[in-house]
Amino acid sequence: MKTTLIDLSYLIAAALFIFGLKRLQSPKTARGGNLIAALGMLLAVVATLFLHRIITPIEMLAGLVIGGAIGAVLAVRVPMTAMPEMVAAFNGFGGLASALVAIAEVARYLIPEVPGLAVLFPLPIEQPPFDVQLAITIVLSVLIGMVTFSGSSVAFGKLGGYITGNPVLFPGLRLLTLLVALGVLGSMGFVLAGAETFPMIADPVVGGIIALTGFALILGVLLVIPIGGADMPVVVSLLNSYSGLAAAATGFVLDNTALIVSGALVGASGLILTRIMCEAMNRSLLSVLLGGFGGEASEGAAVATAEGKSVQEATVEDAAILLAYANKVIIAPGYGMAVAQAQHQVRELADLLQERGVEVKYAIHPVAGRMPGHMNVLLAEANVPYDQLYEMDEINDEFETADVALVIGANDVVNPAARYDKSSPIYGMPILNVDRAKTVLVLKRSMRPGYSGIENELFYLPNTRMLFGDARESLTKLINEIKAL
């Protein structure tokens, strides 16, 4: 009876998760959807607490309160600009939890059986015999969970700027990764080989699990560290998928349907995002994972400068007049806007233009920024209505009718070379057609190239005007200038 009740509440929780995710299909229903999913989680937790015979409720409650408090403080305090690293951090905690649960499951077999104890404290769940099948699910859970944890930690450091966002490559990195991967396989084999005799002979399994934990942690670091800043949207989505798979693997360990279903949902969601991100960069997942591509070119790095080409620099006055007397302006924001935290100024400028009757739209490239949907969150924070934001495919034909395409801190996603230059590293990547607008106004810090380190010919087009400087400062000047017009 009791197990039926538990299973039923897990089923309802899983259904609530699916309902909640479904409501994320529209911004109107999304907030309610998140609440529904949270209720599903609450139901699952309450059902577990009350229906399982939890023996040490005080410690359970302490764990819930401590974790809940940390989570709540982090979630409420974090500024929107720090959202990418926050998502990575939460992701890491999920992976860690899944792996630790699997390890704890192994540790549970290590208690010597005390006669009579089982009568005093009947086990909430029948403890199945430790066999190879269980061992397989445990090693998978530990591997995926720990890789998620250490990989997310590195991603957290890169996104938050605590470690360099550039790809970290050193001679022998590939070899080292290979060796660590072999270590992972070896320790997994060790655990499986020792499974039959466990827990009578405990050492092979215990040692194997400890070695696996170590190797998996190193592997997570080695997998993420060679990947550069601009490829982060792929990494973040992939780690998201891993955290789901880790939960599902733990579900197999505990024979728990709620974990399996939810883990599968999240795994699928992360995979879809990963695929979308890869397609938006026209790169295979493998080439992203091998890394070494997405670094920021350093200031003043030697770049083949386009000979015989010159850029046309605009003054703030020119730019203000261009914008103020346009009929239609399309804004294309990029990571530079996030770095300068210029989203509020962007909104202010757009409002000002709209007051003057200018039609303003935003064109959002799928991989602009450091995580899927990064620009959308920043602009939403600045109160830009989401129905002014357009996806690339929706707006690309509209650039031809725009008077001004305002490029703010975007580079490679607006480089026309991606269309035809087969020698270019970004060849084939779908781009925003900003060059088709009557005038392209580019706000940019300097002539420094984008992460791919390649020259952007957009800057040299006859219809392009460059306004150099920090995006936030330039926008503030533009706003004042337009107000004075």
Partner 1 sequence: MLDNLIIFVLAAFVGFEVISKVPQTLHTPLMSGSNAISGITIVGALVVAGMIGGTWSKWLGLVALIAATINVVGGFLVTDRMLQMFKARQPERKTSTEKTEAASVA
Stretch 273-312 residues interacting with partner 1 (CB under 8 A):
273, 276
CB 414 within 8 A of CB 434: yes
Q: Of residues 348-367, which lie at the interface with partner 1 (CB under 8 A)? A: 354-358, 364, 366
Say whether residue 247 binds partner 1 (CB under 8 A).
yes
The minimum distance between CB 87 and partner 1, in angstroms, equals 5
Q: Hey, what are 69's tokens?
A: 């408090």
Our finding on whether 269 is near partner 1 (CB under 8 A) is: yes
Separation between Cα atoms, residue 248 and residue 98, nearest integer Å: 9
Residue 451 DSSP SS3: coil
φ, ψ at 367 (rounded to 5°): -105, 15
- Placement of tokens 């779908």 in the chain: 430
Q: How far apart are CA 277 and CA 268, in angstroms?
A: 14
Q: Are 230 and 412 in contact (CB under 8 A)?
A: yes
Q: Hey, which residues between 130 and 159 contact partner 1 (CB under 8 A)?
A: 133
Residue in 211, 268, 285, 289 binding partner 1, rule: CB under 8 A: 268
403 carries an active-site annotation: no
CA-to-CA dists, residue 335 to 104, 186, 284, 373, 471, angstroms? 42, 42, 22, 12, 11
Q: Is 2 in the site for partner 1 (CB under 8 A)?
A: no
Beta bridge partners of 406: 331, 441
> Scanning residues 12 to 31, which ones bind partner 1 (CB under 8 A)?
13-14, 17-18, 20-22, 24-28, 30-31
Q: Which of residues 41-80 bind partner 1 (CB under 8 A)?
A: 41, 44-45, 48-49, 52-57, 59-60, 63-64, 66-68, 70-72, 74-76, 78, 80
Catalytic site residue from 412, 421, 435, 470: 412
Q: At closest approach, how far in Å is the CB of 476 from partner 1? A: 22
Over the range 241-251, which residues count as b (16 or more CB within 10 Å of their CB) and which as e?
bbbbbbbbbbb
CB atoms within 10 A of CB 332: 30
Is residue 243 involved in binding partner 1 (CB under 8 A)?
Answer: yes
Using CB under 8 A, count the residues that bind partner 1: 129
The verdict on 103 binding partner 1 (CB under 8 A) reads yes
Q: Does 441 bind partner 1 (CB under 8 A)?
A: no
- Confirm or reject binding of residue 163 to partner 1 (CB under 8 A): no
x-or-dash string of contact with partner 1, 380-419, rule CB under 8 A? xx-x-xxxxx-x----------------------------
- Residue 380, token pair as written in the block: 């939403």
By CB under 8 A, tell whether 34 contacts partner 1.
Answer: yes
Site for partner 1 in 322-341 (CB under 8 A): 324-325, 327
Contact 227, 289 (CB under 8 A): yes
Pair 464, 309: CB distance under 8 Å:
no
Cβ count near 200 (within 10 Å): 7
Q: Which of 306, 353, 323 is nearest to 441 (CA)?
A: 323
Please state the closest distance from residue 347 (CB atom) to partner 1, in A.
12
- Answer yes or no whether residue 251 interacts with partner 1 by CB under 8 A: yes
Closest approach, Cβ 73 to partner 1, in A, equals: 9
> Which residue numbers are catalytic?
412
